[in-house]
Chain A
């Protein structure tokens, strides 16, 4: 029996010839990322709860402050200081104020074929380059940090065949929301979502990230694309090479296969408060909004900013709407400046904020109040996710968010 990409990466990390879904293996972790969501807790445990604390391989670690960045209270400032000091003492790669952790990891570290742990649920993003990235909690992270290893259950794989091309005004963001609406918020629990076909290969790495990033919202362990020439080009442009260029074998076993014609995907939104409550934008077109957000590890890349700028160019957002835009990293920010996108946003009445988790994290920036409605390119629309528990979050593409900000209510871009 052949192996899937996921099985091959886990077999390599376990130093064995063959792995199959359902096996539990001890693996070496190639890279580990932790952010300010929980790193301070990991450090407390490291310092106070172990008999012989030591880091297995500091070169594999990356700490990134992105969730409450810049600090919004003395409490978060203290947590940041703890992370900053620990990183310095232990010579761990450290970033703050440079962007959302997953975007930085993709720009600076991720290599095809690596097995990566991140103390953040959206670590599944790295599959856009054919790496196996998966989210863990801080105790799992601590264990991996001090031993270099962990255990994994080899996941079953769901294979998504993507064919055709999107119509005007439809984007990968609409596709992944549609898929989650179809299979449900637990539809890929414990599994890999693998994307293949001509529609997959045609996507830029940035667009692939919009798909793999949301895999966890269907419960998946990771989302992954076969690393092709676009992945190799991306790595090369960022000064890196693949670790392995694994492809799934022709006789690999898939639990289930799905077929999507991209030409049939419509612009959609996920309605509050469930990620799998996905409907055509038309069916919620009169919903009035108070705030709009373009950014996050899902859709804060240059591709998204270009889409938004095209819609907002020479236009104004509605008087009662606040539009916040946070590029996913400073390099995205720079690119947007060079391309003149920032001027378009400011002229349209948007607030351009620093590169961070921003509104999607719902704690330090652009928090919404009781009864308010947000439309966002963020990752989640859970009850209270963006602020008050009696507020509402709709999720849509950058195009839908930009067009809605102008209309003051949810509308289709095209």
Chain B
């Protein structure tokens, strides 16, 4: 699996209220909510993000509430993957369960610039400005969920 896209940079502790503020959660559809993604921090960002773009953030991305709308909105924006130094654990599970790929990497977030391009070959390496950085594989049970397109799709594959 290869993912390549333009970089948008966010900082440390990007919480779920920044990803989608509570006031928009009553909207019926994720498509309606998506334009408010990251609005408390960067109101213009959701409009600027193009399919395939990659978010790169610092520590503890997705901290806060268990609201699953957070990874769903990022997926709805058609973000290729989120690369961060670390992820909050509930967000991590929710993202995998929705088929949103997350990459934990300690070095990359400090090296990159917004607007540049980055590529990830899953389980092998990340490429940025012609340099390659090691990328550890995900545990097989998680990769199975991602490859199915999310936990519900994986459940269907097992006739649940």
Which residues of A are interface residues toward B (Cβ below 8 A)?
24, 37-38, 41, 45, 49-52, 68, 73, 75-76, 79, 119-121, 135-140, 142-143, 146-147, 151, 185-186, 189-190, 216-217, 219, 221, 274, 361-363, 380, 382-385, 389
Contact = CB atoms under 8 A, between A and B. Distances in A.
A38 B63 CA distance: 17
A384 B38 CA distance: 11
B28 interface: yes
5 contacts: A49-B152, A75-B27, A137-B67, A219-B89, A384-B18
Contact of A140 (B22, B97, B160): B97
Given A186-B88, A274-B13, 5 more contacts: A50-B152, A51-B159, A137-B94, A147-B160, A380-B64
B21 interface: yes
A185 B21 CA distance: 19
B60 A219 contact: yes
B150 interface: yes
A384 B17 contact: yes
A75 B28 CA distance: 8
B151 interface: yes
Interface residues of B, number: 41
Interface majority SS (helix, strand, loop, mixed), chain A? loop
Contacts of B159: 51-52
Interface in B15-30: 15, 17-18, 21-23, 25-28
Contacts of B51: none
A389 to B, nearest CB: 4
Interface in B61-80: 63-69, 71
B156 A50 contact: yes
B97 A382 contact: no
A136 B17 contact: no
A81 B67 CA distance: 20
B141 A151 contact: yes
